[in-house]
Structure 1
């Protein structure tokens, strides 16, 4: 099940943070740190934070922000992560679809930065196009 998070309870996300760090990813810890500091709370217009959960366990997360490197018509996919035990079940796809649906209400284009070939292939399969013209993004999707 996927839910909008209006107020993140950081302790509930900690198992996902630890798992992501075991895989060498830092972006979920950064999500928590930026949320706690107020730097990014996903609370602006056109911004949202979603979690995927199975029973009481958070198994995935994704955010949407206005892209800080572009104009107001561009949204940015942020901090997608799915726990490895729950991958290949469509959860990542559902999270991206939720963000894309929300982005359609506010933005003309959706961008992101994928840090691996596996992530790149995932986004290409979801209709994103490669973008090598901007150092702040690797993929985009016209909405």
Structure 2
């Protein structure tokens, strides 16, 4: 595998994410377009306490994976974080990059949250998240998986 780096996307540069947004749309996923729209209109800029947006970049500075962390807007508890807008470019899947990125997000989340939740509607993502240590359960509204943080 080529060398990669994980960086905070602060601020989000739209040129950096254009290729993965387009790829995700071709796969039928709309959530990265929502990420850009929400960022542009100020609805979600990943700037509240504990929040962050991470990108995985190749040595050529190509964004190949993205994932965010928010205070869960559905839990009514500021100690519950939500993994959001997670995507790995199709040609870089099954190389461990997704796990690497989730682990970076979890490490950041442990500094601010006691629990991490997410929502997914694909069986592949369910298997992926359970392999990392998430449990499948709807503990809070609009969530399918959770992880207690230490």
TM-score category, normalised to shorter length: over 0.9
Residue 51 of structure 2: aligned partner? 47
Residue 116 of structure 2: aligned partner? 110
Runs (5+) with no aligned partner, structure 1: none
Q: How many residues align?
A: 143
C-alpha separation between the residues in 2 aligned to 1:20 and 1:77?
17
For 1:96-131, what per-residue CA distance to the aligned partner results, in whole angstroms no more than 9, with x for missing partners? 001100110011100000120100010000000011
User: Which runs of structure 2 are paired with 1:64-143 in the superposition (5 Å)?
Assistant: 64-70=69-75, 71-143=77-149
- TM-score using structure 2 length: 0.92
Runs (5+) with no aligned partner, structure 2: none
- TM-score using structure 1 length: 0.97
Contact 2:74 2:141 survives alignment (8 Å): no
Secondary structure of the residue that 2:130 maps to in structure 1? helix
Secondary structure of the residue that 1:136 maps to in structure 2? coil
Per-residue deviation at 1:85?
Answer: 0.5
Per-residue deviation at 1:12?
Answer: 1.7
Find runs of 4+ consecutive structure 1 residues off by over 4 angstroms.
none
Per-residue deviation at 1:135?
Answer: 4.1
Residue 36 of structure 1: aligned partner? 40
Secondary structure of the residue that 1:75 maps to in structure 2? strand
C-alpha separation between the residues in 2 aligned to 1:88 and 1:73?
31
Most deviating of 127-136 and 108-117: 127-136
For 1:11-42, what per-residue CA distance to the aligned partner results, in whole angstroms no more than 9, with x for missing partners? 22111100000000001111001011110000
